[in-house]
Amino acid sequence: MKHKNIMKSAALVTLLSSAPAMADWQALPDVAPAPKNNPTTEAKVTLGKMLFMDPRFSSTGTVSCNSCHNVMEGGDDSRTFSMGVHGKTGGRNAPTVWNAAFHSVQFWDGRADLLEDQAKGPVTNPVEMGVSEIEQAMNKVRAIPGYKPYFEKAFGNDSMTVDNAARAVAAFERTLITPDSPYDRYVKGDKKAMTAQQVRGMDTFASTGCNSCHSGAAFNGPEMAFGQGFYAKFPTFDNAYVKKYDLATDKGREEATGKAADAHMFRVSTLRNITDTAPYFHNGAVNNLSEAVRVMAKSQLNKDLSDADVKDIVSFLGALTGVYPEITMPRLPATSGHSLVADK
């Protein structure tokens, strides 16, 4: 098969190799951006964390947001495909929720513009939380008396709605950011924050062209307006890796839009904390970071890296692991004299 050139579209920036000196190295902000209609407040974050951790409104009472996006670890579940209700598994790897607030759009295929939209999706997904209608899940929340004061504190009276529940979860997720990595300290002026190998890997990362897609503070592309996604075609070049790891079966964004022009387009993933989020790629097919680097170089840039270059880039990627804020598990409000999930 002939090599295919990268496609241009409204959602794709043409990939170009960049010299190290031209790389725009940015530190991660200490606060994540929030839409004007959902400013982050402590009350929303408190409620959102409770809802994020609560499995009771799934159809089986066994799956919460945290089941697949474990914030007590790397924000994923370390599985190739996450397991939802009744042991079902999907066809895409669960991306980390850490630093998801910096994504231009949500999900691998960008089918949700905001975290608020994304929070609703898994609830009615038959493989994930398995509720047939989202109001059914919300009715379970309403049936827990202890939730009402938390909603009222966050949103006011008569506020136990699906939209407000999603706003609260999104507000919590916007606190899940990891600044102050060795890389962040380095680009802020602390030239001792990274090792010599990491600095060398940073230069190799840029000269190879990796930052043509993985740019910006979160290494997931340039800053864009909410809902305006930054996508790249994956894979771009056909090679042995594509067949070995079945990288071309999933049509990516085309499955969400139905447009042939969106075939194999995926939202560019963050490289933040990537050492903590194996396995890699949309199908979780690669379980080794060094191999993932080789696959990306060949499949996206048609470049073969030396073992030394791979080691240097992997070392640099390790410098992107930031400081995880302390997460304490919330005390969830109980039902009174009955169970929401008991078998009938």
Cis peptide before 222 (omega within 30 of 0): no
Q: Which residue has the tokens 């998801």?
A: 100
Compute the Cα dihedral for 271, 200, 290, 293 and give only its sign.
Answer: positive
Question: What torsion, rounded to 10 degrees, do the Cα atoms 269, 275, 277, 281 define?
Answer: 50
Written in H, E and C, the secondary structure of the chain is: CCCCCCCCECCECCCCCCCHHHCCCCCCCCCCCCCCCCCCCHHHHHHHHHHHHCCCCCCCCCCCHHHHCCCCCCCCCCCCCCECHHHCECCCCCCCCCCHHHCCCECCCCCECCHHHHHHHHHHCCCCCCCCCHHHHHHHHHCCHHHHHHHHHHHCCCCCCHHHHHHHHHHHHCCCCCCCCHHHHHHCCCCCCCCHHHHHHHHHHHHHCHHHCCCCCCCCCCCCCCCCCCEEECCCCCCHHHHHCCCCCCCECHHHHCCHHHCCEEECCCCCCHHHCCCECCCCCECCHHHHHHHHHHHHHCCCCCHHHHHHHHHHHHCCCCCCCCCCCCCCCCCCCCCCCCCC
How far is Cα of residue 195 from the mean position of the Cα atoms in its chain? 27
Q: Which residue has the tokens 């979780």?
A: 284
d(CA 117, CA 105): 10
Check residue 344 and give its pLDDT: 61
**Architecture of the domain whose range is 20-30+178-318:** Orthogonal Bundle (1.10)
Q: Give every CB contact of residue 81 below 8 A, 6+ residues apart in sequence.
A: 89, 90, 91, 92, 93, 94, 284
d(CA 95, CA 68): 9
Specify the fold of 42-173. Answer: Cytochrome Bc1 Complex; Chain D, domain 2 (1.10.760)
d(CA 13, CA 222): 10
Check residue 22 and give its pLDDT: 52
Cis peptide before 149 (omega within 30 of 0): no
**Phi, psi at 307, each rounded to 5°:** -60, -35
Every domain of the chain with CATH number 1.10.760.10 lies at: 20-30+178-318, 42-173
pLDDT, one tens digit for every residue, the chain (344 residues) = 333 333 333 333 333 333 344 578 999 999 999 999 999 999 999 999 999 999 999 999 999 999 999 999 999 999 999 999 999 999 999 999 999 999 999 999 999 999 999 999 999 999 999 999 999 999 999 999 999 999 999 999 999 999 999 999 999 999 999 999 999 999 999 999 999 999 999 999 999 999 999 999 999 999 887 778 999 999 999 999 999 999 999 999 999 999 999 999 999 999 999 999 999 999 999 999 999 999 999 999 999 999 999 999 999 999 999 999 999 999 999 998 889 998 76
Point out the residues that are catalytic. 128
One-letter identity of residue 8: K
d(CA 311, CA 94): 26
- What are the CA-CA distances from residue 283 to residues 129, 174, 272, 330 (Å)? 20, 25, 19, 32
